[in-house]
Amino acid sequence: MTGTTVEPDEAVRLRNSVVDTLCAEAWITTPEVEAVMRAVPRHAFAPEVSVEKAYEPYAAVITKTDEHGVQLSSVSAPQIQALMLEQAQVQPGMRVLEIGSGGLNAAYLAELVGGDGEVTTVDIDPVVTDRARRLLDEHGYDQVVVVTADAAEPIPGLGKVDVVMVTAGAWDIPPTWIDQLTPGGRLVVPLRMRGLTRSVAFTRVGDHLESESAKICGFVPMQGSTAHNEELLLVNGTPEIGLRFDDGLPTDPSLLDNAVTYPRFEMWTAVTIGVSELLDTLQMHLAISLPGFCIMAVDPELDSGIVAPANKGFALAAVDDQGRTFGYLTTRRTEDNKHVEFGVHALGPDAAAFAETLAGHLRDWAGEHRGGPGPVIRVYPAGTPDERISGARVIDKVHSRISLSWPAQR
């Protein structure tokens, strides 16, 4: 379906190289996805950057920012696009809805569905859809339907689809995304849960969704009626230490005001991991287990050493049940320099007890979930009664109730 323009040899070489890398690292696992990623000229859909930049395996191409430099639209990294295309399991003849336009991903989908299938791509921003329409037409994908609309609402005339692929970060699942899926249809979405984003492949089961896979990812957040911002709690009222809560602040945030006046309590847990080991299940375990779960960040320009996380921009943290003490995870290298050991720091009147609580959850993860599958994620319509929902943690959002539960013990 691509145009007839002759590509430079360097672009072909770079494209084949990135696909070879993604195959070797198992981001691409099927010949169908491999074929379309070799066929479609990625650089042609990212004219804002050089050919070399367009083919960096793990780098997105930013196509629009606001006046403050906040990213509003991008072409996802090849690794993320491969991941989501594999999760979607698109077959020839399918009808596919893409939410969040850029042009490139719609071209991949058009190749996968073939001449008997249909692809509709939707974005709320007319600048984005104008760009997508132009690039798709230029490169032989004029059969893709481009719509400017808020995709949280039904798309007029669309009807049922086999796959919905969302390419913007979503905090909620609008009812229309489920309603427009055929029975057994798939929704692939970067879903934010308690501040953690996962690309989740869901299957429609009756009136709800059940996950088949979930992988760490990052995306430009959704705009429109389903947009949602995290809430930031500045500890002690200063911007040095910020706690980001995805589902609402503690009941009385002022109770944390004096936490930093207490000495920092530190303990090391003897739980060690390899320096390259993924922490996706640890993050989800703490998010499920701790009611006060949050993400801590430290302003490097204001850092006075009150807290000492290993990663100042992203540390797993929590506030205790009384709301007076907070703690976070940190790490240090082991003597062999091939592993890191987890530690827990806590500040507040109950620091020692809360540090032990955090350490206990860390040890539970190491014994029960480390190296295993992530939690099963189910999405129910808002208002679904509790007795119909099973899960260790239920997150209530505007349009949905999301349950998280671990599969049977290994």
CA-to-CA distance for 257 and 236, rounded, in angstroms? 4
Query: What dihedral angle (degrees, nearest 10) is formed by the CA atoms of 96, 97, 102, 104?
Result: 0
| DSSP assignment string, 341-402 | EEEEEEESTTHHHHHHHHHHHHHHHHHHTTTS---EEEEEETT--GGG---SEEEE-SSEEE
Token pair 């260790």 is at which residue? 392
Three-state SS string across 279-308, please? CHHHHHHHHHHCCCEEEEEECCCCCCCCCC
Q: How far apart are CA 155 and CA 122, in angstroms?
A: 9
Query: What value, to the nearest 5°, has the Cα angle with vertex 298 and ends 288 and 395?
Result: 20
Per this entry, what is the length of the chain?
A: 410
State the Cα–Cα distance between residues 294 and 244, nearest whole angstrom. 6
Task: Write out the catalytic residue numbers.
Answer: 76
Query: What letter does residue 170 receive in the DSSP assignment?
Result: B
Instruction: Count Cα atoms within 13 angstroms, Cβ side, for 146.
Output: 22
Cα 222 from Cα 1, distance rounded (Å): 30
